[in-house]
Amino acid sequence: MLKAIIPIIKIYNLLKNCLTLLLKAHNFFKLVMLKLKQIIGQLSEKDFEELSQSFKKTKADNYHTLLTSYKENVLSDNSIITSLEITSNSFYVLKSRLFDKIQNHLSQNVFSTRESLIKQLLHVPEACFNMPRETAIAFLNKLETELLKFDLHNDLLIVYSALKKMHLYSEKYFYYSQQFNKHIAFSLSLEKAEEILGNFNRILGQYCFSKSQQHLDTLYFLKNEINNLYSLNQSRQLELIKYFIELQLIIFCEENKGAGLPTAEIIQNAKKVFSNLPETSPQKKWEIVLDYLTFEYYTSIGEYKAALPFYNEVNKNITFLLLYNNICLTSMFLTTKIRFCTELKMTEEFDENPKNINLLYDSQDSNAKILIAMYTAMLYFKQKKLKEAVTILNNVLNTFSFKDFFHENINIKLTLAYFHLIQKDFDLVELLLKSISRKIKAEQLEKYYHLLHLIKIFESEMNNKENNKTTTKNKDLFILFLANNKKNNEVLSHLIPELKTKYQS
The mean pLDDT of 113-131, rounded to a whole number, is 73
From CA 11, how far away is CA 6, in angstroms rounded? 9
What pLDDT is stored for residue 80 in this prediction?
82
What pLDDT is stored for residue 418 in this prediction?
94
- pLDDT 10s digits, 404-442: 899 999 999 999 999 999 999 999 999 999 999 998 888
- pLDDT 10s digits, 429-487: 999 999 999 988 888 888 889 899 999 999 988 887 666 666 788 888 989 999 988 87
277 residue type, one letter: L
The mean pLDDT of 78-92, rounded to a whole number, is 81
Residues 6+ positions from 56 with CB-CB distance below 8 Å: 64
Whole-prediction pTM: 0.73
Residues 206-239: b if buried by 16+ CB within 10 A, e if exposed: bbbbbbbeebbebbeebbebbeebbeebebbbbb
How distant is the alpha carbon of residue 356 from its chain centre? 30
From CA 192, how far away is CA 289, in angstroms rounded? 20
- Which is more confident, 123 or 293? 293
The mean pLDDT of 214-234, rounded to a whole number, is 92
**Average pLDDT across the chain, whole number:** 84
Q: Among 74-78, 263-267, 273-277, 494-498, name the one with the lowest average pLDDT.
A: 74-78
From CA 48, how far away is CA 55, in angstroms rounded? 11
pLDDT grade, residue 111 (50/70/90)? very low
Distance set, CA 366 to CA 235, 312, 443 (Å): 33, 26, 26
- pLDDT 10s digits, 10-43: 554 555 555 444 444 444 444 445 567 777 777 7
Exposed / middle / buried, residue 247 (Cβ in 10 Å: 0-12, 13-18, 19+):
buried
127 residue type, one letter: A
From CA 461, how far away is CA 469, in angstroms rounded? 9
The mean pLDDT of 103-128, rounded to a whole number, is 66
Nearest to 459 by CA among 477, 446, 441, 482: 477
What pLDDT is stored for residue 31 in this prediction?
45
| Percent of the chain whose predicted confidence (pLDDT) is above 90 | 45
- Which is more confident, 41 or 178? 178
Report whether 268 contacts 280 (CB < 8 A): no
Longest dimension (CA), the chain: 108
- pLDDT 10s digits, 322-366: 999 999 999 999 999 999 999 999 999 998 888 888 899 998 999
How distant is the alpha carbon of residue 11 from its chain centre? 47
Position 370 pLDDT exceeds 90: yes
What pLDDT is stored for residue 199 in this prediction?
96
- pLDDT 10s digits, 372-408: 999 999 999 999 999 999 999 999 999 999 988 999 9
Position 193 pLDDT exceeds 50: yes
Instruction: List the alpha helices (DSSP H) in 211-332.
Output: 213-232, 236-253, 263-276, 287-300, 304-316, 318-321
DSSP string, 456-505: HHHHHHHH-TT--SPPHHHHHHHHHHHHH--TTT---TTTHHHHHHHHH-
The mean pLDDT of 491-505, rounded to a whole number, is 88
Exposed / middle / buried, residue 21 (Cβ in 10 Å: 0-12, 13-18, 19+):
exposed
Report whether 451 contacts 435 (CB < 8 A): no
- Which is more confident, 137 or 23? 137
pLDDT grade, residue 126 (50/70/90)? confident
Residues 6+ positions from 252 with CB-CB distance below 8 Å: 204, 207, 208, 296, 329, 332, 487
SS3 string, 73-120, reads: CCCCHHHHHHHHCCCHHHHHHHHHHHHHHHHHHHHCCCCCCHHHHHHH
Q: Is the dihedral of CA 187, 191, 196, 198 positive or negative?
A: positive
Report whether 101 contacts 133 (CB < 8 A): no
